[in-house]
Structure 1
Amino acid sequence: MADEIWPVFPDDVQPVPPERGNGDSNRDFGPRPDAAPLGNGKGRRRRERPYRGLITTQQFMGRMRPPDYLIDGLLLRGSTYTLTGPTGHGKTLVALLMAIRISRGEWFCGRKCRKGPVAFFAAENPDNVRIQFFALCAEMGIEPETVDIRWHDGLFALDAAVAAVRSDLAECPDLAFCAFDSLQAFFQGDDDNANMAMLDLALDFRDLTAAHPNRPASLIIAHPIKNASKGNLLPRGGSAITNELDGNLTCWADNGVVELHNHGKFRGVPFDPIKMELAVIKPEGLLDARGDQMGCTIIRALGPQREAEMTATGSERLIKVLVAIRDDPGVTQSAIATAVGVSRTTVHKDIEILRNRKWLREYSGKYVITKEGKIALDLADR
């Protein structure tokens, strides 16, 4: 195991040993060699690194090792990523699904996961994470208690707890994956768009696992800027955090389909968007305080056949919306929802799709079907 994890150093070139941290010397990794404490009077961590001297090409190349994926083609061991998406676009569900699949050594959307224990830091909304985890386990037919995940329940001051967290992670020598929910929850400053403050937080996240012997991968769930579009899903916090970390994965949901992709930076082989489906289930045992059955949104892999079915269903619904508007140009969205048999939120999204396709426009407070929309209706009636 040691030969697989650590680079081989020639006898005449040895790595500089890291200093010990403040924790128990038998458990604490100590801070990473290139990190220095805050101390320059500017509220910014000095990124000092020791000079190690020049080495030969042979020595330099002797330290090369092949990339080692935790999830094939997606997450590299020893790397730290952000996962950015707007609220409600499935990013916590994606992180939970990754955590479950890694802990069991299964497949994540057609990509093999290397099996290992997981640590999940549920800081932003642990009660919601509990419900989502329960529902995902029910969807997969597994008992939650059998999943090898260590949890932190709630928020804490990360900058003051780095040594303690590292110490706890050291108790799990085979640790494979850490998930943090979320970047903004752990930020303790006044302005999460401040580059230097977010850089310090990024360095804290790196410090948690940088010296762990099993080189776990880390994923930090992040919120984008306000009113972010699909083409602008960088984590809120300026360029510093994106530059410091190894990649930014993204989540974008549209009509129940979540696309997992990347934006801004990604160290690794480019990959096509990974598509997943959001679905509402009512798992047995998930009850509210009155004992009534609850529903919960889960996420699952989306195959080509299911995607085609969802596309066809969505197209049929769009035609039904157009028919409702054709029959009553002054109809409200609530009335359309009743006529079509869907929620008002779905109708609102469908109308935006129809506008983007230029099948529909608004004029004097009423919906007007365009020439292109009428053609679509005629084709659907044939």
Structure 2
Amino acid sequence: MTYPPEQARDALQFIDPGCDRQTWVKVMAGAKAAGLDVDDVTAWSSTASNFKGERDVMNAWRSIDERGAVQAGTLFHMARANGWKPQQDANRPTPARAPAPTRKEPPRAAIRPGMSAAEVWQAAAPATAEHGYITRKGGRPDGLRVCAGGLRIGGRDMAGALLVPVQTPAGELVSLQCIPADGPKMNLPGHPMRGVFVVGDLEPQGRAYVVEGIGQAWACWKATGCAAVVAFGWGRVSTVTKELRAAHPGLSLVVVPDAGKEDDAERIAKDTGARWVAMPEGSPRNHDVNDHMQEHGAEALEALLEQAQAPAHRFRLMSADELMMLPPLQWLVRGVLPAAGVACLYGPSGSGKSFLAIDAAAHIAAGRWWFGHRVTQAPVVYCALEGEHGIAQRVHAWKMRRGALPQSLHFMAQPFALLEDAQALAEAIKATGAGGGVVVIDTLNRAASGIDENSGAEMGLVIDACKALQAAAGGLVLLVHHTGKDLTRGLRGHSSLHAALDAAIEVTRGDAGRAWKVAKSKEGEDEAAHPFRLEVETIGADDEGDAITSCVVVPDETVQEVKAAKLPAGGNQRLILDALRPLFKASHDFGKGGGPSVRPCLELEAVLPKLRDSLAVEPDRKTERTRQAITGLVSRGVLGLGEGWIWLT
């Protein structure tokens, strides 16, 4: 026997949509075979407390094979088992026959397809404070009604059930939630729950709690006096919160989950600019704010709701005033080395960079001024990777010239692989009490032997390892590194290393002597040179009676000897300098590469082709000789060099 779709819709309402998923899909397949569409099934499914949303219904609907074993008869058979009777059977005359045993049939459903929520609402009586659910939950009857009878949902009679209206922001009634005296909440079939119910009054600049059900809303309102918005299920809380945010930008929204749903609540709060409340630790799953109020009282619930949390955001936005209130950059060596980060002291072989690194380390550990710069005392760990005997002699020489070395200066002379041993070194540093100070790695080449310095990928691993060491040990990591013979190329290796540094010190050695200068500093000094010399110190004698010597760094007070570098009188350097002058005059770039803001600058690699023809040498050696000439000019102090840019000093 076949039935029209109206009969199938009627039969569907006699089956509980809150059944297990296998049965639910089976009913859906029968409904599909009976000619119903996905909207019919969605409306029926939405009345269940375990409704997962329209997408879940659509996915299940698409998975059903219309030629499968489940056909329309399955739907009607299951409906009959729950009391449904087809309309044609009800109207058919009973033939004269001997009386058969009768059985009591449940009342027919008064609801028919097409009946609106407004019609059901109009037939209901106003709720009173004596209603069982209101009494049990400590609620109030305002805005609610009680079903007069004749309505069946999922095979259950809704007579006496509390009716909660589901309304749009404009107040239009779109559906009803029915709360029987015994049994789960049921939603009106055929009427999606696309609305809310508000307990209390929404104030434009006030606070509102977003909750699943009316019991939680009553509790929040009773504890705080603030409005509470019923979303009718956790699956709608996100949508409702977004709608409230759009409609009421000034409203302070607080998402209130049941226990076990806090992570989801935090996500919703983060997406909507709201806050969220966590149920007390140890609460049983699905324990809600109404349960908390019943157990501990309204004051305890108010205290819990006052602990609403703002979700953690990855980015913090600051006002200009907040930005200006940030503490200034902390310096280790004022204007030269920051108190935290990754820095590098570099120069060519023989420039004295290791002697300078030891001198800086000793001054920092002692808190002594260094080359006229104020120093903040900090513990130092010096990793001497190029031979413990050499470092011992240099330390001995420093002690004989300067006095006892500070106790906060430590040395490590064991082999060390930066990419593998960073964490272990950090642990040793912290165990010694030297965390948050300075870690000097002399040299980077020894600490990262075997890597291709010119590979961006491999240099990236080195940079990551340096940052990991800095994060674990704290303070500043100071690398001692080489340049090539060609000073114009700066730090040896891939350019990403220089870009990753927080500070850099360049050490040079030329005809005018040795000097160091700040090659990179975020908020430090400019390119002022600090001349120094290495003075020999005798520290003892060997078995043959010969003197054992080393050197110490001494600031060179004869600054003019360095700064007043003699201009080349002839040769390639003079030719290159003469070729550079008109190029500098025509340049519109100033302050590049850390150069003085008043000096025109030239990008070295861009001007090399323009300079090479100034030299009368073999064509295949012009570029090489041009670079050598520029290196000489930099060493003399005639040219400044930084980050691939040159300028006249």
Q: TM-score over 0.5 for the alignment?
A: yes
Deviation (angstroms), 1:143: 2.8
Aligned to 1:80: 342
1:141-169, Cα deviation, whole Å (9 max, x unpaired): x134x453111113222222122111112
* Structure 2 letter corresponding to 1:99: A
Deviation (angstroms), 1:54: 4.4
Contact 1:103 1:115 in 2 (8 A): yes
Deviation (angstroms), 1:311: 8.9
Distance 1:56 1:277 in 2: 46
1:107-151, Cα deviation, whole Å (9 max, x unpaired): 1000111112110000123322221222122222x134x453111
Aligned to 1:114: 376
Shift of the 148–54 alpha-carbon distance from structure 1 to 2, 3 Å rule, reads closer
Question: Is 1:165 aligned to 2:420, yes or no?
Answer: no
Deviation (angstroms), 1:92: 0.7
* Structure 1 letter corresponding to 2:358: L
Superposition pairs of residues 6-21 of structure 1, within 5 angstroms? none
1:312-338, Cα deviation, whole Å (9 max, x unpaired): 9x99xxxxxxxxxxxxxxxxxxxxxxx
Deviation (angstroms), 1:69: 0.5
Shift of the 114–167 alpha-carbon distance from structure 1 to 2, 3 Å rule, reads same
Question: Is 1:280 aligned to 2:558, yes or no?
Answer: no
Distance 2:381 2:530 in 1: 25
Deviation (angstroms), 1:211: 4.4
Distance 2:562 2:316 in 1: 58
Distance 2:563 2:350 in 1: 21
Aligned to 2:517: 261
* Structure 2 letter corresponding to 1:203: D
Contact 1:169 1:175 in 2 (8 A): no
* Structure 2 letter corresponding to 1:96: I
Shift of the 311–217 alpha-carbon distance from structure 1 to 2, 3 Å rule, reads closer
Report percent identity of matched pairs.
Answer: 19
Distance 1:299 1:192 in 2: 29
Contact 1:109 1:274 in 2 (8 A): no
* Structure 1 letter corresponding to 2:559: E
Aligned to 1:151: 411
1:290-310, Cα deviation, whole Å (9 max, x unpaired): 33212323211122xx33478
Shift of the 153–58 alpha-carbon distance from structure 1 to 2, 3 Å rule, reads same
Structure 2: any 5+ residue segments left out of the alignment?
Answer: 1-273, 276-311, 575-649
Match of 1:67 among 313, 329, 335: 329
Shift of the 67–182 alpha-carbon distance from structure 1 to 2, 3 Å rule, reads same
- Based on CA coordinates, which of the two structures has the bigger radius of gyration? 2
Contact 1:248 1:262 in 2 (8 A): yes
Deviation (angstroms), 1:244: 1.9
Distance 1:64 1:257 in 2: 41
Aligned to 2:486: 228
Deviation (angstroms), 1:224: 1.5
Distance 1:357 1:77 in 2: 40
Aligned to 1:130: 392
Contact 1:281 1:295 in 2 (8 A): yes
1:225-248, Cα deviation, whole Å (9 max, x unpaired): 3x222x4322x2202212222133
Contact 1:99 1:149 in 2 (8 A): yes
Distance 1:354 1:113 in 2: 43
Aligned to 1:204: 465
Shift of the 54–129 alpha-carbon distance from structure 1 to 2, 3 Å rule, reads closer
Distance 2:364 2:374 in 1: 9
TM-score by length of structure 2 reads: 0.37
1:350-369, Cα deviation, whole Å (9 max, x unpaired): xx9985787xxxxxxxxxxx
Question: Is 1:192 aligned to 2:453, yes or no?
Answer: yes
Aligned to 2:365: 103
Distance 1:130 1:63 in 2: 46
Distance 2:497 2:563 in 1: 37
| SS state at 1:200 partner | helix
Aligned to 1:307: 559
Distance 2:508 2:441 in 1: 19
| SS state at 2:489 partner | coil
Contact 1:251 1:258 in 2 (8 A): yes
Match of 1:237 among 482, 485, 493: 493
1:16-58, Cα deviation, whole Å (9 max, x unpaired): xxxxxxxxxxxxxxxxxxxxxxxxxxxxxxxxxxx94444425
Shift of the 118–190 alpha-carbon distance from structure 1 to 2, 3 Å rule, reads closer
Shift of the 251–153 alpha-carbon distance from structure 1 to 2, 3 Å rule, reads same
**Total equivalences in the alignment:** 264
Structure 1: any 5+ residue segments left out of the alignment?
Answer: 1-11, 14-50, 316-351, 359-382
Shift of the 122–156 alpha-carbon distance from structure 1 to 2, 3 Å rule, reads same
Shift of the 232–250 alpha-carbon distance from structure 1 to 2, 3 Å rule, reads same
Shift of the 76–137 alpha-carbon distance from structure 1 to 2, 3 Å rule, reads same
| SS state at 1:108 partner | coil
Contact 1:135 1:298 in 2 (8 A): yes
| SS state at 1:253 partner | strand
Deviation (angstroms), 1:173: 5.1
Shift of the 308–66 alpha-carbon distance from structure 1 to 2, 3 Å rule, reads closer
| SS state at 2:495 partner | helix
Distance 1:290 1:150 in 2: 32
Shift of the 280–181 alpha-carbon distance from structure 1 to 2, 3 Å rule, reads same
Distance 1:288 1:354 in 2: 47
1:53-101, Cα deviation, whole Å (9 max, x unpaired): 4444259749933101001111111121111100000111111111111
RMSD of aligned alpha carbons: 3.3
| SS state at 2:449 partner | coil
Q: Which has the higher contact order (CA 8 A, sep 6+)?
A: 1
* Structure 1 letter corresponding to 2:496: A
Distance 1:310 1:74 in 2: 20
Shift of the 308–114 alpha-carbon distance from structure 1 to 2, 3 Å rule, reads same
Contact 2:514 2:532 in 1 (8 A): yes
Distance 1:250 1:278 in 2: 15
Distance 1:243 1:63 in 2: 28
| SS state at 1:238 partner | coil
Contact 1:124 1:154 in 2 (8 A): no
Aligned to 1:217: 476
Shift of the 354–133 alpha-carbon distance from structure 1 to 2, 3 Å rule, reads farther
Contact 2:535 2:554 in 1 (8 A): no
Deviation (angstroms), 1:217: 1.9
Aligned to 2:602: none
Aligned to 1:377: none
Distance 1:289 1:268 in 2: 51
Distance 1:256 1:175 in 2: 38
